[in-house]
Every structure is written in structure tokens, then in C-alpha cells.
Structure 1
Amino acid sequence: MALKEKLSKNAYFFYYFILMQGIGSAIISGGIEFAIAYGMYHGRRRVKMWRFPHTMAGDLVVSLWVQVGLTWVLEEIFIGWDFCCGSACEFPHMDAICNYVKKKKALYWYCEVEYGMLPRERGPQGFKQYLKDLFLPERNMSRGHTKKYKLWLWLVRKAMRCLSWGLLLFIFFWPTTLGIMVAPGTKYGRHDYSYNSYPFPQVMKLIFGFVLGLICTPFTVAVVIIRNETYTRMVDSGELEEEWPSEAGFEGSPEERKQDQLLMPSESASVESKC
């Protein structure tokens, strides 16, 4: 029996969303940032807040944007697949959340509801087909275009959302971090501060990565789950046309599409254990 079936809805939400995607992601992010900072700064004479080449302020900016972008791409892939397999959690008051997203045009656009996925029994039958519909969707503005155009459109859509979310984090998160860094720093010149090469930069990056992961990952996970839940409900109610099963997700000649469809059951069986 799957863990989701053993636990209550609220308990599984806590396990999946809070522990795995929140705290688990934060620990991994913090550990990666610690390792990167160790490689960058250990053995240097002094590390400065602003002055190149070893600038903590610049390092934090790059880390923030890279982490936001990578998190968004990875969660789009893996959380979306979890939803298709039925292993993603469901938020409390999901019906109210989905209805609210449908009514608010800005949220509807941001969550990309029309690019949502259906559960696997009605949607993609294998991981390969899932990736095809994720990156090369045959719907909305992507319909009828080349693979290259669809992929670029996917990147543009995600970049717009990453930039808006990253900008919000940058405005509130980065200045706060620099303000905290002033206290343990040693005044260097008129406007700069210096730090030892170990352990301050490593510990600072660990805390920075941990807190950023604790905020960034759950937000991205929530966007993906809410998108798919809203899309599924709108398909069920007839507000949106169901994209699966259809030939929209298959490209190539009719013979290739037929071959893909024949392969789907075996692909589905091969990923059964993962779901």
C-alpha cells in the first residue's frame, strides 16, 4: 500500500509538502551552498562584502537567481510527474483554492492553468510522453508550431514567472541578508566590510541557501499542484477541453504516432513502481 493511502490527507500534506518539499529541500540547498562557499573562499586571506573578486554580496545575488531558476525547472518536471502518478499531496480547501484561481485572471495566468496535466489514467501514460507534453505541448500558443518554437516558448513562459518570483525574493531577501552581515563584519574602507575565509562565508551561505530553499521550493510546488488540480477540475466541469487522450501530444507521421501509442502500455508498466 502506498504511503499516501496509509496516511490521512492532512498527514500526507504535512509529510509531502512541509517535510519533503520544504525542510528536505532547504537542507539540500543549504548543504550545496555550504560546499560551493567552501570551494570559493576557503584559503583566501579576506573576503569582502562588495569588493571583487571575492564579493559576498555578488555571490548571494547569483546564488538566489540560480536557485530560483533551477528549483522552478526541477519542480515543474518532478512535481508534475508526481501529480500524474497520484503521489502529490492535495492542499486543504483545494476546491476553494481552485475556484479562487479561476476567478483571478492574474493567478490564472501565472499558474498557467491551460497547460495543466491530468492524472495518469487520463493523461500521459509514460514519463517520455509526459516530458513531451510538458516541454512541447500541442495546445494554446504552441499548437501547430515546430519543436524548437515550442521549447523556446516554454522557456519564455517559465522565465517570466521565475523573474517575477525571483525579483520579489531579491527585493526583500537580499538587502535583509546584507544587513545581517554587517554585524559580524570588520569595517573596510568607507562602505565595505571584510570577513575571514572560514567559517563565516560557508555558514552564511548555508543559512542563506536553507532559508531560500524553505521559501522557494514550497512556492514552486504549490504553483504546479494548484495548476494541475485547477486544470483537472475545469476539464471535469467542461470549462476546458480535455487534451488527453488524443493525438495532440504525438508528433510525426501517423505510423510514428501509432507506434508511440502501442508502446505506451509497456512504458506505463515500467514506471509503475515509481508511482
Structure 2
Amino acid sequence: MSTIPEQNLPPPAPAQKPATRRPTTRNILYIIVMNVIGATILDAGINLGIAAAMYTNAYPVRVWEFPNTMAGDAAVTVFIQGILTWVISGMLTSRDLRLAAFGISPIRAPRSIREGPRIVQWFFGGNLDILERRIGHSERLRRLVSSIVHGVIYSIAIFFIAWPIGVGILAATAGPGGFIAGWPTAAYFKAAFGGGMGFWQTPIIVVIAMMRKGWPERDEYEARKIADKIKHKQGQQTVVNAPVASDRLPPVSV
């Protein structure tokens, strides 16, 4: 996909600030305070509450064996938390950027992404702004589905990093046969595991959302694709609704 010179790019939305090539001080504070510290506390608290409901009366709790397997719990946590974080954090960050909340600015996507392989452009180019008011229901649904798909792919990638580390530490500290003392040990692990994931995965998604808002060529590309689909659909309807010549000859008067 060819790129458009920066001087010819369309102006940003009225409230949205122009994209910067590097994160501003406000961007850094936004990432650290809200999406590192805040996300860690929030994710740890949510996982602690879920673990309290799951493991308070559960016995025995083991690393590998069902029904109360912490390894399986951690695997499910990676995917559920990864998808929800991609959708929610991407959505809220996009909204804050569009409204210039907290004074944050989009970040200009690097050339390696803007002009990279199609798969790279697709992964970083998904529109995360699900809350944008001017879009219709079909476009909002498309963005939501796209965010979920991106979240699944992202979760698969982080699974091979977070899950072996977390379960490896748990297995090393467990008792004979992978036995864990149940509540509150299992809850502490789940809280630490979920909080640790929030600590490092949330800021990555926030930075991706900032770069996506600083990539107006992608908006033009998506707008052209939508326009082409509409034209193609209208063309098909025109062909279907076109008058068809009758196979019968008109009666001949004698």
C-alpha cells in the first residue's frame, strides 16, 4: 500500500491533537499511572476476587491435575484477560486520544509498520475506536470483531511467554505431586499472575492504540475499501434489478 506524504495528510479531528514522533510527557504519565500501575492493581484485584469464589472451598488444588488445576486456570486467564485488555484498553485509549483527554497525543506510527508487510500493517492497523459516535452499527460491530480477533492473536503470542514463567514458578514452589494449599495460596498466585500480565501487556496495547491514531493513511485505506464494497454492492443490485427482455414475442395483429 502506497503511503501519502505527511504534508498532504488530512487534519486530525477537532479535539484530537496532532501526532508526535515520540511519546510526550503526558503520554508517558498516562501509560505509567493509568495503564501500568492502575492496570496492575485492577487486574490483580479482579483475579483475586475470582479466585476467592473458585478456591475458597476447593480441595485439593494442584498444579496439573483436574478438577482444580492452576495450570489450566492460568492458561484460561491468559486468553480471557488478553482479549479483554486488547478490546477495552484499546477502546478507551482511542477515545481519550480522540477527545485529547489528559492532554495525550497520538504517536506517529514508524515507517517499518506503515510500509511493512501486509500482515504487519493489518495487525497494527486495526481500528480500536469502537466508541466513535459518527460510525454506524455495522462499522462498530466490525471494529469490535476485529479487536477480538487481534486480541486472540495477541493472547496466543503472550501465552508462550507468560504461561511457562508463571506455571514454572508455581510448580517449583508446590508441594509433592504438585499439591497447593488451596485458599489463600491459589488466590495469591492468581492475583499475582493476573496483575503481572496487566503490568506489562496493557502498556503495549496502549502504545499500539496511540500509533493507530497517528496513522491517518490507514483510515483513508479503510475508507476506500468500504467505499469500494458499497459501489460493488450497488452495482450488483443494479444488475439484479435491471429489466430483463421477455422471451416471448409480442403478439402480431393480423
TM-score normalized by the length of structure 1: 0.64
Q: Distance in 2 between matches of 1:156 and 1:129?
A: 17
| Pair 1:184-2:196 in alignment | no
Cα–Cα, structure 1 residues 128 and 108, in superposed 2: closer, same or farther, change >3 Å? Answer: closer
Spell out structure 1 runs of 4+ moving beyond 4 A: none
- Cα deviation 1:50-69 (Å, max 9, x = unaligned): 22211111111111111111
Determine the structure 2 residue equivalent to 1:63. 77
Tell me, in whole angstroms, the C-alpha distance in 1 between the residues paired with 2:199 and 2:186. 20
The one of 240, 256, 259 aligned to 2:220? 240
Offset from partner CA, 1:22-70 (integer Å, 9 cap, x none) = 1211110011111111111113332111222111111111111111111
Counterpart residue type for residue 34 of structure 1:
L
- The answer to whether 1:199 aligns with 2:184 is yes
Distance (whole Å) between structure 2 residues aligned to residue 116 and residue 50 of structure 1: 36
| Whole-angstrom distance in 1 between the partners of 2:73 and 2:220 | 44
Distance 1:77 1:241 in 2: 20
Q: Which runs of 5+ in 2 are unaligned?
A: 1-16, 18-22, 224-254
Higher mean C-alpha displacement, 25-34 vs 213-222:
213-222
Structure 1 residues 158 and 242: alpha-carbon distance in aligned structure 2, compared to 1, 3 A threshold: closer
Does the 8 Å CA contact 2:74/2:163 hold for their aligned counterparts?
Answer: yes
Matched AA of 1:136: S
Contact 1:17/1:89 (<8 A) preserved: no
Q: Deviation string for 1:178-225 (max 9, x for gaps)? A: 11012221122xxxx011112211111111011100122112111211
The equivalent residue for 2:161 is: 172
CA contact (8 A) 2:87 2:128 kept: no
Aligned equivalent of 1:53: 67
1:33 alignment counterpart: 47
Tell me by how many angstroms 1:109 deviates. 1.3
Give the drift of 1:76. 3.1
| CA deviations over 1:143-189 (Å, ceiling 9, x no partner) | xxxxxxx73x445422331122111111121111111012221122x
State yes or no: 1:107 paired with 2:90: no
Q: Does 1:89 align with 2:74?
A: no
Cα 1:31–1:223, aligned 2, differ >3 Å: closer, same or farther? same
2:195 matched to 1:210?
yes
Q: Structure 2 length as normaliser, TM-score?
A: 0.69
CA distance in 2, matches of 1:25, 1:77: 15
Question: Is 1:222 the equivalent of 2:212?
Answer: no
Partner-residue secondary structure (3-state), 2:176: strand
Measure, in 2, the Cα distance between the counterparts of 1:55 and 1:14: 38
Residue-pair matches, total: 201
Structure 1 vs Structure 2: percent identity of aligned residues?
25
**Using the alignment, how far apart are the partners of 2:52 and 2:128 within structure 1?**
40
Distance 1:129 1:10, change over 3 A: closer
Aligned to 2:56: 42
Cα distance in 1 for partners of 2:67, 2:181 equals: 15
Letter in 1 for 2:26: Y
Shift of residue 242, structure 1, vs aligned partner: 10
Superposed, 1:66-81 pairs within 5 Å as: 66-81=80-95
Describe the SS at the equivalent of 2:52: helix
* Corresponding residue for residue 269 of structure 1: none
Q: Is the 8 A contact 2:87 2:151 kept in 1?
A: no
Shift of 1:77: 2.3
Superposition RMSD in Å: 2.9
Rg larger for: 2
* Cα distance in 2 between the residues matched to 1:198 and 1:216: 27
- Find 2:27's aligned residue among 5, 9, 13: 13
